[in-house]
Amino acid sequence: MRARLMIAFLCILPFSAHAQVGFSLYTSSMYDDNSFSFYEKREDVYHALFGALTAGTQQGSAYLQGYYYGALVLFRTYSDRTYNVHTVGGYSQIQLDYLDSDDDAPDIGRVYDPYARSVRSPARSGPAAPAVIAAAFPAEETAIFSDSLVTYLFVIPQLGARFDHDNWDFYDFQRGSILLRLRRHLTGTLMSTWHFTTQYKRYPNLEQFTHIELNGGVVTGLSVADRVDVFGALDAGHKIYTRSVSDTLWVQDGKPGKGKGGVKPPVPVISRFSTPSTTQFVLSAGLVFKVLPQAPLTISWLRRSNPSSDARYVREDAFLGLSEDEIFDDRYGYQANEYRLSFDGTLPGGIRTMNSIAYLTKAYPRTATDLSGAPLSGDSQRRDRRFLLRLQALYPFFRNHAGKGISIGLAYNFIRNQSNNAYHDFNNHQVALVLSGDW
């Protein structure tokens, strides 16, 4: 599979005599006092290594790029949790039309586009990691041309896979996706971004979770004052599982042993599954304050709503926590309100920073239980309240004339999850030393 990914990367590289080649490297060492994210703390230290290779070229009104990025996460205490993730993809940004500017044309070059700022971690499953600085990623979803009066079409295909040790190989997956995004100026300072993604994701060792996912929506952004923008978004997602199952015996229970490695002989557990498909609607809105030219302050609200109470998931106590994951805590499996305050960008002195405070209220279509697995009295629905604090700063230790070089920094994460389901009432403290370079 790794060889196939590299072959695919070579096939989609935009070969050109004038191709711009870039390489990024990001590594961190993190101490986590609750690496499994559940009520009984089990500390660990893990090391993450992330690398990205890009090659792009501009052909007239189009920018084309091919890229590969991969991540390796190494655990010290529970070493058999070590895994690696690989992704190859293409990025095309195509200019479709241009609105001729004149003396009456509005200055909309600075209108905030929240969708274009999104960053996707290549190693989503597993413990929470420090936020990855956007510069470590290839130019995915980053505007190459700056004129906001232009209509742009973005086409981003991807192939990816994850590989784990035997005790955790239920996390293994292969996936393929394509993202289409259209950014268009509507009128005045009003901008819109339409997007649609289709993805196939296969879990070879957990076929009950193999699925096709369709997701689409629109984001609008409007400048309302000299340094203030407002945005709103509406998204809808639909996940279709390839297998129709109800309740079933799943993988066997694994409790950690002492020392390195850490899984004792297993016993069977019961997992819960839903009907073959599930849907979720997401509504969001926010304000952006341009407190610094390259570091906005954003306040946002997001609402997740499900038309049905179906959710396909594995009981978390089957394999020690590992929440916030598509298998154990899929976003389709709960309804939520999410409130977020974020401040990220480039500070004076070239310091790159990503900071956020978030508060989430989540309601699950499951009955809350005590630590023995017995349901709470009164048919109590599981409800979580989660507070998150994430801080990260990278100082440019060395930079050349092109702005490339090496940065060092620190990251800190705090998670407090209050739940009436005793297993999920926990907190995490995570501290990391970060090194980042790009050439």
pLDDT tens string 288-333 = 999 888 899 999 999 999 998 777 777 655 554 454 477 878 889 8
| Cross-strand pairs, 64 | 57, 92
411: nearest Cα among 387, 436, 394: 394
pLDDT of residue 156: 94
pLDDT of residue 256: 41
- The answer to whether the beta carbons of residues 426 and 386 sit under 8 Å apart is no
pLDDT < 50 stretches in the chain = 14-17, 99-112, 117-142, 249-270, 320-321, 323-324
Neighbours of 372 (CB within 10 A): 6
Report the sign of the C-alpha dihedral through residues 116, 179, 91, 107, in that order.
negative
pTM confidence score:
0.82
CA 326 to each of CA 124, 305, 316: distance values in angstroms, whole numbers, following the listed order: 9, 17, 12
Q: Two tokens at 94?
A: 């195509």
Q: Compute the chain's Rg from CA coordinates.
A: 22
Domain 2-438 carries which CATH code?
Answer: 2.40.160
Euclidean distance between CA atoms 384 and 422, whole angstroms: 10
Q: Residue ranges of the domains in the chain?
A: 2-438
274: nearest Cα among 241, 319, 306, 304: 241
Compute φ and ψ for 303, nearest 5 degrees: -125, 125
Euclidean distance between CA atoms 86 and 7, whole angstroms: 13
Neighbours of 1 (CB within 10 A): 12
User: Measured between alpha carbons, how far apart are the two ends of the chain, in Å?
Assistant: 28
pLDDT digits (tens, 9 = 90+) for 240-256: 998 876 555 444 444 44
- The answer to whether the beta carbons of residues 331 and 312 sit under 8 Å apart is no
pLDDT of residue 98: 62
**Apex CA 197: angle with CA 191 and CA 203, to 5°?**
150
pLDDT of residue 273: 65
Q: Two tokens at 370?
A: 């005590």
